[in-house]
Amino acid sequence: MMENPGGANSTSNPLANQAAPEGHGGNPLSRIAPQLGGQQRPMPSPTRAQTTAAVQRFSAIQRVLKPILDDPKLGKENVRPAVLNAGSLLLGTKLISLPELMQVLNKFPADTDPLEQKQFLQNVYDSAKQSESQVLDSHGAAVVAGKLPPDGGDQYDAGNHEQLMDSLLSHYKR
Amino acid sequence: MADIMNVYQPLQTPQQNPLQVLQMLGALNQAKLFNQEYQARQAIGNAYRANTGDNGELNTPGLRSQIGQTGGFLAGEGLSQATANSSADAALKSTYQQILRQTFGQLATKPVITDEDISIAKADAARQGVPGSFIQDYAATIPMGGTRKGQAATKDWAVTQSNLARGPEAIATPTTIPGPHAEPIAIPAGTASRIMSNGGLQTGMPPGFTEAQVQTGAGSGVALNEARQRGLNYRQEVYPLEQAIPALEKLGKTGTGPGTEEFNQVKSFLQSAGIPGLDADKIKNFDEAKKYLTDFVNQNGNTGTNDKLAAAFAGNPSVGVSNAAAVDVAKSALALRRMKQAQLIEFEKSGLPDNEYTKWASQWNIGHDPRAFGFDLMTPEQRKKVIESLPEGKNGKPGPRDLFKLQVMAAHNAGIIKPPGQ
């Protein structure tokens, strides 16, 4: 669920920091002159089905977190109950698994630190929003570049949501 | 003798070609012009940098002001270019908006607009070249569709987008829609879109419906209406049972039978429980009340799950509804009543039309375990047995045990059960 909270786990988020790929072996020319020996990063080209799966997931995360972020109590009082409620709503959508949710809840700041909780939730929200935008841009660019057919490929099937998310991540491996 | 004139010969300036002087002056002017142009271009560049946001958006008024003040003799050109850029940017955004309106406007034809539909529309827009951030900003204007009212607002929004995409002339053009007796009725196209997206003119039963559809719809409507009526009185209905249960539990330990108070509490529940043909005032004793309570359980649940429910409360798999102790029958009744209430709450959130209630409710029942709605009525030992009776998920995927826990959490979050441990 948590794409890039606080940037602390950015290496585990394949969708983070797409704008600044590193050069191969530290060669500063590899980004602008791959034919000189730098390794060209393949352009992510998520299909229509993969993009829809990703957008559904990231939208759902933003949707459940928005009311908490808009609550004036955030940053002043413990919001763990609201977060648990949001988690159960997400589980109900079946767009996120219980192990994933438990993994995030284990990292959620203590009840005595509302400010940290606010920062945590804001980071999660921003990360989901950024990831959604990136996937949409990648999908559009892939169609323009001819890497996908004009209709974007296979249609989305909710029954394959998890497989689609797994296959989507392969486009963003570092 | 030296020529005194040669000693005190006045200093002579070097011979200079007038053309060279002119050339030098020209070069100086060129350098000055180059510097001025360089500084002007740099100032314009700085103006663009200072007025471009992190998201790439340009603050055009700020840009024009800064160019005008610091652009030097290139200010005119700079302002002209800024205007041209701004116009091109506005035209591009207008194109994006049109694409989004056309794409999302198509959702107006759907009976229910789901989150999946919106996600598909976002991907469609991206394929047509609209940037992701632009799509997100646009989609942020979609009303939340979680409730029936929200779904109606979402449909209305989609129709508006469709009309905007077509433009004022197109939506003002007259068109016809079928009336209640299939006669053509002329109205503006924009109004027609709105009416047809809501199922057409609703002045009477639409022609062409089969009898089965009418009966199903009517049956759903009756069932839903009943559920809503009972939902209004939910708290009054369950309160007596919530009082009776701890009292019955205590009686079990003391060995004496239920007294008047427990009898009245169960009777009070039965009075509002909706058991057909029952006149609760005619119940003579607690045994009779227990019998009717058992009837309530049997009518509101399924045979298999009812026995599992009673067994869970008894802590004994051999116990079924028919041979359960009074307190366990009461707990089963309360759990089932709570489950009905949860079912109603979720249907109201679904945004589905009333005539789909029966079909939706039967599917919902299959996916929900009544024991989740009585989890707080169990002892820790009983809860442990229930949890352990459910298989765990495999390979990191959720299984029946995870789904049961989710149902318990959801019931707690809805205020239907108390948290485990209380």
Type of residue numbered B181: H
The CB-based long-range contact list for B312-317 (8 Å cut-off, 24+ gap) reads B312/B371, B312/B374, B312/B378, B312/B382, B312/B385, B312/B386, B313/B374, B313/B377, B313/B378, B313/B382, B315/B379, B315/B381, B315/B382, B315/B385
Provide the 10 A C-beta neighbour count for residue A154. Answer: 14
Rg (CA), chain A: 18
Longest dimension (CA), chain B: 164
> What's this model's pTM, rounded to 2 decimal places?
0.50
Chain mean pLDDT for chain B? 79
Residues B11, B357: Cα–Cα separation, whole Å: 115
The beta-carbon neighbor of A51 closest among B123, B409, B413 is: B123
Q: What is the pLDDT of residues B19-32, one digit of tens each?
A: 888 888 888 888 88
Residues B204, B194: Cα–Cα separation, whole Å: 18
- Check B406 against A88: CB less than 8 A apart: yes
- Select from B99, B119, B350 the residue whose CB has the most chain A CBs within 10 Å, as the one to mutate to test that interface: B119
Alpha carbon distances (Å) from B40 to B61, B79, B82 = 19, 12, 14
Give the chain B residue nearest A89 (alpha carbons).
B410
Q: Which residues of chain A neighbour B144 with C-beta distances below 8 Å?
A: 63
Provide the 10 A C-beta neighbour count for residue B302. Answer: 13
pLDDT of residue B123: 95
B196, B177 contact by CB (below 8 A): yes
Range of weakest confidence among B110-114, B218-222, B361-365, B408-412: B218-222
The beta-carbon neighbor of B126 closest among A97, A129, A139 is: A139
pLDDT of residue A37: 45
Tell me the pLDDT band of A174, cut-offs 50, 70 and 90: low
- Report which of B339, B331, B329 is spatially closest to residue B289, judged by C-alpha positions: B329
Q: Does B135 have pLDDT greater than 90? A: yes
Q: Does B207 have pLDDT greater than 60? A: no
Tell me the pLDDT band of B273, cut-offs 50, 70 and 90: confident
- Check B116 against A98: CB less than 8 A apart: no
Q: Does A28 have pLDDT greater than 60? A: no
ipTM reported for the complex, 2 dp: 0.75
The minimum CA-CA distance between A103 and chain B, rounded to whole Å, is: 12
Question: How would you class B371 by CB atoms within 10 Å of its CB: exposed for 0-12, middle for 13-18, buried for 19 or more?
Answer: buried
Tell me the pLDDT band of B416, cut-offs 50, 70 and 90: confident
- Report which of A24, A46, A49 is spatially closest to residue A37, judged by C-alpha positions: A24
pLDDT of residue B55: 66
B220, B359 contact by CB (below 8 A): yes
- Select from B103, B124, B127, B364 the residue whose CB has the most chain A CBs within 10 Å, as the one to mutate to test that interface: B127
The minimum CA-CA distance between A142 and chain B, rounded to whole Å, is: 8
Number of H helices, E strands in chain B: 18, 2
- Check A132 against B132: CB less than 8 A apart: yes
CA torsion angle for A23, A27, A31, A35 (degrees, to 10)?
-120
Alpha carbon distances (Å) from B149 to A58, B141, B254, B345, B372 = 24, 16, 52, 14, 29
Q: What is the pLDDT of residues B348-366, one digit of tens each?
A: 777 677 777 887 887 788 7
Q: What percent of chain B has pLDDT over 70?
A: 79
- Check B123 against A55: CB less than 8 A apart: yes
pLDDT of residue A129: 94
Q: Higher model confidence: residue B196 or residue A29?
A: B196
Q: Does A111 have pLDDT greater than 70? A: yes
Alpha carbon distances (Å) from B310 to B178, B274, B319, B335, B378 = 55, 21, 7, 10, 11
Q: What is the pLDDT of residues B106-117, one digit of tens each?
A: 988 888 888 999
Tell me the pLDDT band of B15, cut-offs 50, 70 and 90: low
Chain B positions contacting chain A at CB under 8 Å are 115-116, 118-120, 122-133, 135-136, 139, 144, 393, 396-398, 402, 405-406, 409-410, 413
Range of weakest confidence among A109-123, B136-150, B198-212: B198-212
Tell me the pLDDT band of B125, cut-offs 50, 70 and 90: very high
